[in-house]
A and B are shown apart, each in its own frame.
Chain A
Amino acid sequence: MAMRQTPLTCSGHTRPVVDLAFSGITPYGYFLISACKDGKPMLRQGDTGDWIGTFLGHKGAVWGATLNTDATKAATAAADFTAKVWDAVSGDEILTLAHKHIVKTVNFTQDSSRLLTGGNDKLLRIYDLSNPEAAPQEIAGHTSAIKKALWYNNDKQILSAAEDKTIRLWDRSSMQEVKTLTFDTSVSSMEYMPDGDILVITYGKTIAFYNALSLDLIKSVEAPAPINSASLHPEKDFFVAGGDDFKLYKFDYSNKEELESYKGHFGPVHCVRFSPDGELYASGSEDGTLRLWQTAVGKTYGLWKCVLPEDLGAENSEQLYTSPPEIKA
């Protein structure tokens, strides 16, 4: 029996959701943080979308948000010229790091000891979180606002994407630029899969996959519409993408075939990420919502329940909720 995707809508934000990130898998499950132009980033339980808490303190749109691997710390980047570090268990603000312009991106090292930030002042900054009073190390080079910055190659390098249509690779110790990739248009998103050594980059309608060690192009795929974000499944059999036509697309990674697409959001999709176990992917949209989508439609997982036809009439079946069916595009 064919099953139709039922996305789970997470409401709560009042403005566009511009960034989201999952934690690793912890003894308490995995978690999801969302960055929103309403200035109030939220933490949710990753497999259900249940709201856990809101990080209060920013005085402007939050452009970037991240969690450390065990979801004990969160970091956010905002239009109030600060990046903040939070205790992701209590919701308390730990640190405010003042910048000279809008901060767009934040990323923890694997051991959470350092925070990388980037933004409209075109500088990358590295903060030592055990010594936050100390001035951060700064890396200059980009000629336009930085959109995304990531720790790379076991935190030995840094990768950054900017409005200057380049992605630059920097060596952490020497702080020197090692390599530059130039594009015809500015890159809309980057995702780094350390386990598989793959870098996923989106620009225009293109979703491109690079070998993370050599930065050589492996393959690229053209989507039907401009894409703002894409994510590769942990097992590298699928990838998902979303963009300006409000739809989510799912592709086969090996043969690049478009497998499925879903309408659901009421605005452009700004960010999409697979969960660390690959069972679902989350999307954030201009419409102010996050939606969770099943990778294997119909499987029992999280709040989704596989119901066989013979169970539907049973007396002791659980109360089930069926939301209005989503139209398959």
Chain B
Amino acid sequence: MATPVSVLRLPKGPDPNSRGFDPRSPRFIALCCTSIPTSAASEADAEELQKEQHARSVLRETFLRCLLSMTNKKVQFHMHEKVKVEATFGASDIDVLNFQVSDLHTPIGVQKEALISPVRIAQPVGLQVQP
């Protein structure tokens, strides 16, 4: 009777909470281009790096404030096939791929609650983002 080959363990499966590509892995650290142009240069200027980091922080904060300020506001979404729909904005997922909305007005009726993945969002004229 043949003996089955032993294995050390089973292959690791996906992490349900993450899309993976661990930034701490040796391959990531060695190969991943930094998105900060200054730090990619061979002789990074500390002051320039600081300015870029600050600029990126500001951009991130502005983006998050923008998302927050849209909460409970009426927003227009441009979907695939040139469909435009209006809804009350709720929240975004971490990858900004899906949005939770309420009162979604679609060509075939009003959906009380929905999750959508639009091509882009167009805000109604007059919406101000407060810092």
Q: Which residues of A contact B (CB under 8 A)?
A: 1-6, 8-12, 28, 42-44, 48-57, 59, 72, 87, 89-91, 292, 294, 297-298, 303-307, 318, 320-323, 325-326, 328
A-B contact pairs, 22 of them (CB 8 A): A3-B5, A4-B2, A6-B4, A6-B5, A28-B26, A28-B27, A43-B21, A51-B11, A53-B21, A55-B19, A56-B95, A292-B11, A298-B5, A303-B8, A303-B10, A304-B5, A304-B6, A321-B8, A321-B10, A322-B6, A323-B7, A323-B10
Instruction: Collect the chain B residues with CB atoms within 8 Å of residue A50's CB.
Output: 11-12
Q: Is the CB of B11 within 8 A of A3?
A: no
Complex Cα–Cα for A322 and B25 (A) = 29
Consensus secondary structure, chain B interface = loop
Is B62 an interface residue, CB under 8 A from the partner? no
Complex Cα–Cα for A43 and B6 (A) = 25
B1-43 interface bits toward A, Cβ cutoff 8 Å, 1 = contact, 0 = none = 0111111111111110001111101111011100000000000
The 9 closest A-B pairs by CB, nearest first: A53-B20, A49-B11, A91-B21, A53-B21, A2-B2, A325-B4, A4-B2, A6-B5, A50-B12
Consensus secondary structure, chain A interface = loop
Q: Is the CB of B5 within 8 A of A2?
A: no
Complex Cα–Cα for A11 and B21 (A) = 17
Q: Is the CB of B28 within 8 A of A303?
A: no
Instruction: Collect the chain A residues with CB atoms within 8 Å of residue B11's CB.
Output: 8-10, 44, 48-51, 292, 303
Complex Cα–Cα for A4 and B7 (A) = 12
Q: Is the CB of B19 within 8 A of A4?
A: no
Complex Cα–Cα for A320 and B117 (A) = 45
Task: Return the contact of A6 from the options B7, B14, B28, B31 (Cβ within 8 A).
Answer: B7
